[in-house]
Amino acid sequence: MRGPEGAPVQQCTGATRQRAENLTDRLAAEAVRTRIDWKYLLGLSLDDPGFDHTVLAEFRGRVAGAGLEQVVLDALLARMAAAGLVKAGGKQRTDSTHVVAAVAALNRLELAGESVRAAAEALAAAHPHWLAERICVTDWTRRYGTSMTSWRPPGSQAARDELALAYARDGYALLEAVCGPVSPAWLRELPAVDVLRRVLLQNYTRVIGQDGREVIKRREKEPEGSGLPPGHARIASPYDTDARWAVKRDKLWLGYKLHRACQIFCVS
């Protein structure tokens, strides 16, 4: 254990005892030098000088780099099963745990507006002159200058529907400008631009009517509407594309469901 060439079994045992006692690398190395119980556990003589604390970090790095995290546990279980100490009990899924995302909860109207605002801010940071040449800064500042959750939306449903379509028109116009032939190609690779594209696709339909005019409509649930994507695929926030609305009994939250599938062993 005096260096990186020390016995892997000793290094693994030392790291396990370190975790059990919640010690830093320096304190664990000091325990090897000064404590009899650690020397006994690691099979070291009483006068063994121990090792430098960096050995533990190097050992963890080698284990993680080789993907060996599960090897020791599998070997231990195999030995215990061969000795008749444990037996397989099958697989069992534990109950799901809800995890709340660190983002504001948005309704569909706020999601559309906030996605446009996030894309515009990303473009302004990446290429401010390009953005200023393609939008009316005064109008956009009035509509997207603050977060969608910082002001109260219109009271009537008709006004909210019109605002939702205005967000869609602004979003499509922004995407068309980004994808235009005179725009830098790298602007299309900005994550916020791709999120805006996906939010518009999931929440709106855009077709050319018989009169040649563009028609934008909000998607609604089937069978009356054009259909919304399933909840597990629908973006709920432009700032965390993995967060989803979830429900468990009487609990509704925006975030994640944490599931853990574990192997159950029965002690003989």
Peptide bond into 230 cis (omega under 30): no
pLDDT tens, residue by residue, 154-167 = 889 999 999 999 99
pLDDT computed for residue 268 by the predictor: 46
pLDDT computed for residue 3 by the predictor: 42
Tell me, yes or no, if the pTM score tops 0.95: no
pLDDT computed for residue 127 by the predictor: 93
Ranges of the chain whose pLDDT falls below 70: 1-7, 89-96, 225, 259-268
pLDDT tens, residue by residue, 63-97 = 888 877 777 778 878 888 888 887 776 665 566 67
pLDDT computed for residue 9 by the predictor: 74
pLDDT computed for residue 4 by the predictor: 39
| Helix, coil or strand: residue 233 | coil
Query: Cα–Cα distance between 111 and 151 in angstroms, integer?
Result: 14
| Token couple for 63 | 């284990």
> Residue 218: is it exposed, middle or buried by C-beta count within 10 angstroms (0-12/13-18/19+)?
middle
